[in-house]
Amino acid sequence: MPFDALRSSSSPAVYVGASPEAPGSNAPIGIFDSGLGGLSVLRAVRAALPDERLIYAADSLYAPYGERDDDFIADRTLAICEWLVSQGAKALVVACNTATSQSIAQARERLAVPVIGVEPGIKPAAITSQTRVVGVLATAVTLRSARFQALAERHTGDCRFILQPGHGLVQAVERCDTDSPELVALLRSYVQPMLDANADTLVLGCTHYPFLDEAIRSIAGDRLTLVDTSIAIARQLERQLDSFGLRAMPAQTHDQVQDQTQAQAIELPRFYSTNDGKALRQLAASLLGLDVAVEHVVIPSRRALGLESDPV
């Protein structure tokens, strides 16, 4: 399938220097989140697709998205996706439930590369819950989105979902706080009512939340099965790459790879952040064991470029 840098003829490419050539199978995959949460998806993608080159963009300057208005989220999502395409990405993962719930249709409409989104694991939770009571922790924007409402309606059946906005949790992870007493107390205020209602399953409906799994365990013990969809997202990405013939060759067979040092360089993701990137570097090192430099990047929003009335 031929890929143009951007599909929409009515929408000029924002970034000068975007490659006019279609990205090939050895081009990188772009992964994006409002901040650090998408690292939980990057971790699953690296495990499932070790030969793929990855670029991760954290929009931490503007996190959290979960309490922003819809236009703001769509504006940032499109700007970052377009930037990733300008960096040569052959496929994109919008590793943010909030951005997916508001903007995935627009991103797919505008971009000529496969765009994979994420959504809360309502379906697996509804299938596996024994008590038929399921807690759902997600951002306020995700929970009120039409996309989420339709998903929940499709799978409710005899299952009761307890919807809880996770106010304050994204901010905690962005500070690299995954276990402070204040955070555990906040989490307890969200999780205890679910336990009291006999929930046996908790959907982690935001990619930041898997980094809070130990804190949740300290509250709920093994009473709650945690549903994190990052492995399913990695599988979906794999299927999409296969269907478009975009899977990378195994690193050892790349012509240009002469030795292990170069092979290593191909395997390490490139990290970018719209803020100073310190927290991204810290969390990647402590939770993923990846000690990689983070580059600061300025990605103006479409509004700032005067393109806000551009139809999407």
Enumerate the active-site residues: 96, 206
Site string for ligand DGL, 137-176 (x = CB under 6 A): --x--x---------------------------x------
Q: 247: which 2 tokens?
A: 């899977």
* 301 binds ligand DGL per the rule CB under 6 A: no
The owner of tokens 């998408």 is 38
**CA triplet 21, 25, 30: central angle to 5 degrees?**
80
Site string for ligand DGL, 7-46 (x = CB under 6 A): --------------------------xxx-x---------
Strand 91-94 to 294-296 pairing = unpaired
Whole-angstrom distance, CA of residue 247 vs CA of residue 203: 30
How many residues lie near ligand DGL (CB under 6 A)?
17
187 vs 58, 99, 137, CA distance in Å?
24, 23, 10
Identify which of 209, 122, 199 has the alpha carbon closest to the alpha carbon of residue 174: 209
Whole-angstrom distance, CA of residue 221 vs CA of residue 191: 11
Nearer to ligand DGL, 26 or 97 (CB): 97
Bridge partners, residue 163, by sequence:
136
The owner of tokens 């399913």 is 232
Q: Is 34 marked as binding a ligand?
A: yes
- Tell me the window of 84-92, 155-163, 202-210, 219-227 that interacts with ligand DGL (CB under 6 A): 202-210
The owner of tokens 């945690």 is 226
* 66 binds ligand DGL per the rule CB under 6 A: yes
Count of CA atoms in the C-beta half-sphere (13 A) of 51: 14
Nearer to ligand DGL, 204 or 290 (CB): 204
* 96 binds ligand DGL per the rule CB under 6 A: yes
Nearer to ligand DGL, 26 or 60 (CB): 60
| The one among 46, 90, 108, 208 contacting ligand DGL by CB under 6 A | 208
Q: Are 182 and 156 in contact (CB under 8 A)?
A: no
| The one among 27, 49, 57, 63 contacting ligand DGL by CB under 6 A | 63
Q: Is 26 marked as binding a ligand?
A: no
Nearer to ligand DGL, 27 or 172 (CB): 172
Q: Which residues bind ligand DGL (CB under 6 A)?
A: 33-35, 37, 63-66, 96-98, 139, 142, 170, 206-208
